[in-house]
Every structure is written in C-alpha cells, then in structure tokens.
Structure 1
Amino acid sequence: MSKYAIKYGHINYAFPDMIEENVDRRCDSIEPGITRKLGGPCIAFSHPALDECGYFDSRFLKFGHEHTEFTKRLVSAGYGGINRLEKDGQATDYFFVVRSDILFASVTSTGNDIDIANNARIWNEVVSKDGSLFRSPWSTLPQKIEFLAEQRQIAERYQFPFPFIQAPFDEVAYGTIFQDIEDTSLSPWRHFVAHGLSEGRNRLV
C-alpha cells in the first residue's frame, strides 16, 4: 500500500465488492479502482498529504463518519480521488482503491447506531461548517496534552526523533504536563526559558 500512497498521496484498500465494480480496471498503482464507496480499515497516506490535510477531525466522538470526512478533505486537496461535476450540477467524490495482499479477520464491531447518529450530528452541525483542509490532532487542551504525551512515549520507545512543534507557548499546557515545576518558584514561562528549553521540554508545547 505504501507505494500507492506515495504515488497518489492517499489510497484505500479495495474490498471484493469494489473490485467487482471495477472489472475493467486493474486496481493497482498503474490503474487504481474508482469507487464512491469507502471501507475505512486500511488506508495509506503520503507525508505531503498529511502535511496539507492533517489528521482525523478530533471533534468526532467514537465511531462513524470520521474516516469519510477525512477522505473527502484529502480528495479536495487532490490526493487519492476525483471530485466530479455530475450532469445535474452536483459534485461527487470518487475514491481511488487498490488491491492488496493484506488479509482481514472478522471481528465484532464496537460501533453502534447511537455513535453513528451522534457523529452525523457533529458533522452536520460543526465539522461541515469548517471549510479548512487541515485539522490539528486536538481541538481541546486535554486532547493536546494526551496526544503529545502519547507521541513522546512512542518516540522514546522506538528512538524516533520527536519534532520541535512550532506553536505559541502555552503556559497552562506546560504547567499541566510538567507538574514538577510546581516545586519551584518560577512561572511556567520563566521555567521554560531558564531550564525547559535546554532540557528539551519545548518539544511538548
């Protein structure tokens, strides 16, 4: 899937029914399948696509619609699909899908109709009114703290470089993440300037 993502920026796994509707196409990197359907369990992205479009919208809760919304943003940016103007004047998204040797095991879904309905409401009332392509991985301070802490743990575990995040300094976030500074007489900002910057703590704010 990775080579397809590099070529198209974003690609979806082709399920059997998607392959059946693309009998005249190879569903590979040369000739991807084209469908209006989305599956969701297997997606690949390129770095440029993620740099431009960001992440799943964190305003969605639990299960339902989050993958569709993300994919439509990617297609709008020119990655992994086509936005076609139909004869009736309506624009329709068509998505690129490819075959893969990946095998899926059947499991019981954790989603339910209530979660799907709640996310549909969030999409209609909130997300659909946001015309921007990029989404941050957080929309609230607790989400930001949780996300960055998880990323740092992964980076340390696998010895990946954790990037410096270019963002305004957030005193509340800094003080919440680094609670040891409460034992000093310094404000979060003064602690950051005097100690945090040289200690690499800037990577979490």
Structure 2
Amino acid sequence: MAIKLGIGVITYNRKDTVRQCVEALRTFTQHPFELVVADDGSHDGTPSLLERLHVPYITGDNRGIAWNRNRAIWWLKEEKQCDVILVFEDDCRPCVFGWEKQWIEAVEAYGHINHMPEITLEIDNDVSSGAGTAADPYIAPMHQAYCVGYHARALDFVGYLEVRFEKYGEEHVEHTHRFLRAGYGGLPQFRTPERGQVFFLRGGLETLPSESHGTPECVHRNVELHRQIQHELLYRAPWRSDEQMFLFREEMEAALNRPTPATQPSDNGFDAVVSLGGSEKISQYLEQVFGETGSRLFDGFMAPFHSLIALFETDFRDLFSTNCLYGYHDALRCRDSLIVYHNCLDIPPGERASVELFHSQLGRLKQEYQSYLAQLDQLCDGTQRVLFVRDWQETLHYEGSHRPSHTRVPDFKRLVDAIAARYPNLEFRVLFTNYGAASAADARMIFANSHAPDQCDEARKAQAWADMISQLGVYRHSDGSWDK
C-alpha cells in the first residue's frame, strides 16, 4: 500500500520565512503530500499570506510551541490520515529534490527521526556513531526539532506534546523521551530517560538564521516541569482539560471549513446589505463593516432556516403567530414555527418576556414589522443590487462559530429560490456565513467562514467578520463608508 505523506510547518510571526519554506517544499518534494501550516496566532499577516498562497492552515491564539506542533500533527494524522508525518520549524527547508525519500524510509523503520543540521555538526558535534542516513542514522544524545518525523502508529502509543509547557523550551525534548520509552527513534536509557540516544538524519535540508521568541526564564520553568513529569504515563492528548479540548476542536473545525476562492462571485459590489438573521449580532457586525445597511426586519426575532424559507414563501403570514407560545430562556418561542422573539418586545424593567406581554403588544408588533417588510420590498424593487447575509446560528444559547459537521445541511437553494420568487426583478446574492464546508454550484450564493473561535470577546468576533468580508472583497456602492 502506498505511503501517505503529510508535511506540516509551524510558524509564528515569520511570514517571509514561512513563505520560503512552503515554496521550497513545493519545489523539492517529489512524493505526493498533504501540506498544512500551523500558525500560533501571528499578527504579521501570516494567515492572509497563506490564503493567497492557497496553503491550508490552522490558527488560533498564541499558545506556544507544544500546542502549535500538536495542531499540525493532529491535522495530518487525524484529519488527513497520513502514515508518515514530517513537521518543520519555519526556519528549516528542503534544498535537494527528492529529499523526503530518506525521511520516509527512516520514519517507517524507526517511528521517530530528527534532523541534524550541518551547523550542529560543525559547532557541537556529539555524534557517537552512524552516517546520518536512513539505513545508518546518526546516534547522539542531543535534541533538535528543525524537522521531526513521526509515524502514525508510533503516535498511537506516545501521543502528542505536553501542553503544560509554556511558550518555548523542553517540549520537544520531553516528547522525544516518551518516544524512546515506547521503543521508537533511538536507544532508551530506562533508569535515566534524559540520557537516551536519539536517531538523526543528515542532508537534504538547510536551516536559516532566525530570532527566537523564547526567554531564559520560560526555558528554566519548562526544564523544572520536565523534571517533575518525566516518569508520568506515556500517552498524552493534545489538551489537558475539557475547555482546552473544545478550543482545539474549534481550531480544527475552522481550518476544515475554510472556504476556497472558487466560491466567490466575480462582482462583489452591492447597493444594500440586508441581514437575514441567524445570530442577533449579525446586523451589528454588518453595520461596523458597511456602515448603513438595509431593512431591520430580521433584527427582532430569530428564525430557523426552514422557518426563514417559509416566511418568504408565505408572504410572512405567520411571522407573529400566537400558536403554542412558550418561554425560551429570556425570550418566547412559537412551538409551530420555532421562531424566537427576543428583541421585538418592549419589556418593562424587572419583568421577563411572557405570553401575556406578547399578546398585549401584538397589534404594535404587526404594524411595526409590516412597515419593516414594506421597507424591504421597496429596497428590493429591482433598481438596486442587494446582498443578503444569513449566519448559521439559530438559537440564543449556542456559541458555535461554525456549523458542526454532523448537523443537517440546510436547503440553501430553496431559500434563494424563495427570495427570487418574491423579488423576480432583483439582482442579488446571498452570503451564507459559518456553514462550515457547505457550498453550492449556484452563482447567487457565496459561502464564507469567520476565523474567530467560539470563546472570545465581541471585539474579536467583530474583527473576524470584518476580515472575512475584506478577504471576500465585498463592498457597498455608497458614499465611501466602505473602502474596497
């Protein structure tokens, strides 16, 4: 069976260096491979660069080398099902065509292998034996992580890097010791694992000068932590708590659901932008990006996707149905339509939303929202080009940024057809946000995901929306409130 090769690059605030690494990998690698860059929260434009280079990437908050290397390993092992996994630091790159052949052979043979740079051989040569090849690797007590090879079957027993290590220092050393304890990648010393002998490969790669982001104080703390945990159980997950697990999963979901440029329309200018709801925050985000937007019809209630379709198909007949209303958190919900009424009621101080309050305000609600609907109809009379925006969130209490992959995919085409039927002369697009990997071969639809994790403040979520719109190139024909 053919070997599936995965190559990851870990980086932080080195966009020019990581670009050179990616270009070298694409130039000098002969064997087909899966590529991913794990970005540890860079703020120098690295994600935007990777988007332009069409490089799959995982990113999130700056959490240190251990967490970031785990991003790359998990992606290649679990998401892409690679057999041989090679992880580069961004200041190391191939320089010889077919360099990976020796690495694949070594990883297959030993389960774990490291790179020995030429500069190390010149300055700190502590090699006890070997020729630095797959058949006869160097054996040395040192630890370096410029490029590290892992076999999936070895990772099944050893697991991931210990995320208790702060930012920089000892994380690779401790991980390597666990491989030695499991019988991979060297000669273990069971009584003194810190003195194990590690296997290395020479040649085919080059290292570049770079500035470290670590500090001596951080390294000292990590050395002490390593001393304390060196005899703990072998296998480690890439998280230490439920919260960390959810954060890690969110990062993977965001990377899996990142859209491709092929889903973008050619004409990205619009006269008006209208929120179709989903999340109560969407109109706020859109206003921050575009300035003034269109009708506020969908700001006062939240309609599940199927209910939104029904509203357009039935002339909004059941928007304020009084059938089977019941309390839903701090709002009301209709059991028939599942529409949630949360921002449309005038609730006196100290009171909560109630069925009685809804009935007492029903006349006002119908009149007010009929005027909102009239505004929308006027906006969509065919003289303007309109962008509708629908976000996947359909509830008050679920914090998901992206639609989970196991949930039912909505009928996007039916919604678009319903809008087209109501406004037959209108030129429009519907931007579906945060629906994960969903897509459709319909020029009227645009799909995009924001890059904010679930657990972050509103300022970051708003910025993620602004970044998403900017990457799509969408703008509003107006008085300059949005600078394309």
Q: TM-score, normalised on structure 1?
A: 0.69
Query: What's 2:145 paired with?
Result: 40
| Residue ranges of structure 1 left out of the alignment (5+ in a row) | 160-178, 187-194, 201-205
Amino acid at match of 1:30: A
- Which has the larger helix fraction? 1
* Corresponding position of 2:464: none
CA contact (8 A) 1:18 1:35 kept: no
Cα separation, partners in 2 of 1:147 and 1:22, compared to 1, 3 Å: same
* Structure 1 residue 155, shift from structure 2 partner: 2.9
Tell me, yes or no, if the aligned pair for 2:154 and 2:184 is still in contact at 8 Å.
Answer: yes
The answer to whether the aligner puts 1:27 opposite 2:132 as a matched pair is yes
Structure 1 residue 6, shift from structure 2 partner: 1.8
Name the CA shift for 1:141/1:116 in 2 (closer, same or farther; >3 Å): same
User: CA contact under 8 A between 2:177 and 2:196: conserved in structure 1?
Assistant: yes
8 A Cα contact 1:8 1:79, kept in partner = yes
Q: Do structure 1's residue 105 and structure 2's residue 318 form an aligned pair?
A: no
In 1, distance between residues paired with 2:151 and 2:405?
33
Q: TM-score normalized by structure 2?
A: 0.31
Residue 54 to residue 84, structure 1, CA distance change in 2 (3 Å): closer
1:138 aligns with 2:351: no
**Whole-Å Cα distance in 2 between the matches of residues 142 and 78 of structure 1?**
32
User: Residue 183 in 1 paired to residue 396 in 2?
Assistant: yes
Question: Is 1:150–2:251 an aligned residue pair?
Answer: yes
Which amino acid is 1:9 matched to? G
* Contact kept? 2:129, 2:138, Cα under 8 Å: no
Identity %: 24
CA distance in 2, matches of 1:54, 1:68: 14
Query: For the structure 1 residues 121 and 199, does the alpha-carbon distance in structure 2 shift closer, same or farther, using more than 3 Å as the test?
Result: farther
Residue ranges of structure 2 left out of the alignment (5+ in a row): 1-102, 261-391, 399-403, 410-484
Q: How much does 1:5 deviate?
A: 1.2
Partner of 2:114: 12
Query: Are 1:2 and 2:104 matched, yes or no?
Result: yes
Distance 1:79 1:23, change over 3 A: closer
CA displacement at 1:41 relative to structure 2: 2.0
Kept in 2: contact 1:32–1:96 (CA 8 A) = yes
| Structure 1 residues 61 and 23, CA gap change in structure 2 (3 angstroms) | closer
**Equivalent residues of 1:18, 1:33 under 8 A apart:** no
Q: Distance in 1 between matches of 2:161 and 2:257?
A: 24
Contact kept in structure 1, 2:168 and 2:214, CA below 8 Å: yes
Q: Is the 8 A contact 1:13 1:97 kept in 2?
A: yes
